Chain A
Amino acid sequence: MTPILTCEHLTKTYGIFCALDDVSFTIEPGKIVGLLGENGAGKSTLLKILAGMLTKTSGSAQIAGNEPGVLTKSYVSYLPDKSYLQEWMKLSDLFTLFSGFFADFDLQKAQGMAKDLGLSEKARLKAMSKGMQEKVHLILTMSRRAKLYLLDEPIGGVDPAARDYILDTILTNFSEDASILISTHMIADVEQILDEAIFLKQGKLILHAPVDELRETHHQSVDALFREVYRS
């Protein structure tokens, strides 16, 4: 099977600081991959390079055979860790906006998710709480029929009930040939949905394996393994 994502010797430096150091891995279609690591490990940097927000220093990244750029943006759905929308806009405005820009945006799906999460389409972003705004960002990202979803801390600011709904939405709403690369600190919450895990430490990839294999080999959950790896 052709990988949806291939990174080879991917490196990003800021002056003398190396944010990503010679990272290589591949992701097959249909996989949900957890991108795990401590603060400053290079998770967001990696996602930004793949989303085309940052340029790499060296190495290569290929998404469905193409370098991150204008073409890949049409089939990569990216959720940054920051609020990037104009706060005066209504949810309905945002749906119209995304429908106009992304051919793969499913308006009905977005409206359904908004209804399930109790968000009014007439509400402006500035009138919403931080958690509600995060839900809006997630709805917009997951309502696209993309080939690759890049989610940077998608459940960090939402309540546990919404967290379950979001994880369930992620599981049920992406097609078999799509993949998700999800960066999070809440490993215990996402562990149940992960197929593979990638551990990053100080910009280096230190582990990439299927979650089931990790559990069998180390006789502990990924969450426990994470604590062990990053404690040392």
Chain B
Amino acid sequence: MKLFNNLFAYHFKCTARIFLPLVFGVLLLAGCTKGMESLSKPLPFLTAPYTFLLIISAFCTVGMFLCIILLSIRHFFRNTTSAHGYFLFMLPVKPSMHLLSHLFTYVIWLIVAGAAAVGCVFLLIPNNAYAQLGTILDQVFAVLQINENRIIVVLIAMMLLSAAAFMCTVYAAVSIGQLAKENRALASFGAYMGIYVIEQLLSTLLMIILFACFDLDLFISNPVLSGEMLFGFLAGASILYILIGTTSFLVANRLFSKHLNLI
């Protein structure tokens, strides 16, 4: 456990150098946009710069997630295929610990980015739109007949699960790509595409089996989405993500344990 904590601290420190300024930058930009909104009311000529800043802030908020995902992949790729791998793989730590510490770091940063994104949304929404947004959400929850707290928790869990499953698939792809002697990035990308196609085929197959085994006509014939149907979909998707994530993790662990190829 001590070694895992040390590994996590190491990865967190390595990624925090880039991610912390990124998250604070996006929050700062959203704060400036909010300030501009307040100024644009008494000074109408600032409306156009405010609108421009609002669009930029919205793009940056989405871009923050994209950066965290891409840089996390880069961090893992460098740590397993380049000279940096010599440090990690000379440690008396099982490959599963390496994978878990990378995954844990990535999920923590996604949570931090998610919290920052929520903050940005609250900052970016114009003051007069808060009440409208609340009304719309209340109407959606009423139509679906679901508890809003429950659905928020389930949706957040789903998003984290899908993000973790995606990253495990990337780990599996890199573990296959590292077997190549040259062009490992290309080999990893090719492996990811292969895994993605297999995933899609298996998902489709699973759906066909489910439709054949159970009376799922309800989902097709009923045009109105109900809360129970939504939770049913989410539960099904969660099981699929857990299966994909676990299988990918096991593949990556096996290849890094038995076929490590740090050239």
Contact = CB atoms under 8 A, between A and B. Distances in A.
Interface of A: 14-15, 48, 51-55, 70-71, 73-74, 78, 80, 82-86, 88, 97, 100-102
Contact of A85 (B87, B93, B263): B87
Contacts of A88: 17
A74 B93 CA distance: 9
A51 B90 contact: yes
Nearest to A94: B87
A198 to B, nearest CB: 22
A82 B86 contact: yes
B83 interface: yes
Contacts of B87: 84-85
Interface stretch (B40-48, B51-59, B127-135, B254-262): B254-262
B93 A70 contact: yes
A55 B259 contact: yes
B227 interface: no
- The listed residue with most A CB atoms (<10 A of its CB), out of B90, B94, B262, is B90
B93 A55 contact: no
Interface string B63-101: 000000000000000000001111101111110000000
Nearest to A84: B86
B155 interface: no
A97 B93 CA distance: 14
Contacts of A70: 92-94
B6 interface: yes
Contacts of B181: 14-15
B90 A86 contact: no
Interface in B233-247: none
A140 B94 CA distance: 21
B89 A52 contact: yes
Contacts of A71: 92
Interface residues on B, range: 20 to 34
B86 A80 contact: yes
24 contacts: A15-B181, A48-B262, A52-B89, A52-B90, A53-B86, A53-B90, A54-B260, A54-B261, A55-B260, A55-B261, A70-B92, A70-B93, A73-B90, A84-B83, A84-B84, A85-B84, A86-B84, A88-B17, A97-B10, A101-B3, A101-B6, A101-B91, A101-B92, A102-B92
- The listed residue with most B CB atoms (<10 A of its CB), out of A15, A55, A102, is A55
Contact of B260 (A53, A78, A85, A86): A53
A84 B85 contact: yes
Closest 3 CB pairs of A and B: A84-B86, A74-B92, A82-B83
At the interface, is chain B mostly helix, strand, loop or mixed? helix
B216 to A, nearest CB: 47
Contacts of A74: 92
B14 interface: yes
Contacts of B258: 55
Given A80-B83, A84-B84, A97-B10, 5 more contacts: A14-B181, A54-B261, A71-B92, A82-B83, A84-B87
A74 B261 CA distance: 20
Contacts of A85: 84, 87
Contacts of B17: 88
Nearest to B91: A101
B218 to A, nearest CB: 51
Contacts of A83: 83
Interface string B1-15: 011001000100010
B92 A73 contact: yes
Interface in B1-41: 2-3, 6, 10, 14, 17
Nearest to A71: B92
Contacts of B86: 53, 78, 80, 82, 84
A208 to B, nearest CB: 26
Given A14-B181, A88-B17, A54 B262 contact: yes
Contacts of A51: 90
A101 B89 CA distance: 12
Contacts of A53: 85-86, 89-90, 260, 262
Contacts of B14: 86
A101 B91 CA distance: 7
Given A54-B260, A55-B259, A80-B86, A100 B6 contact: yes
Nearest to B7: A101
Contacts of B261: 54-55
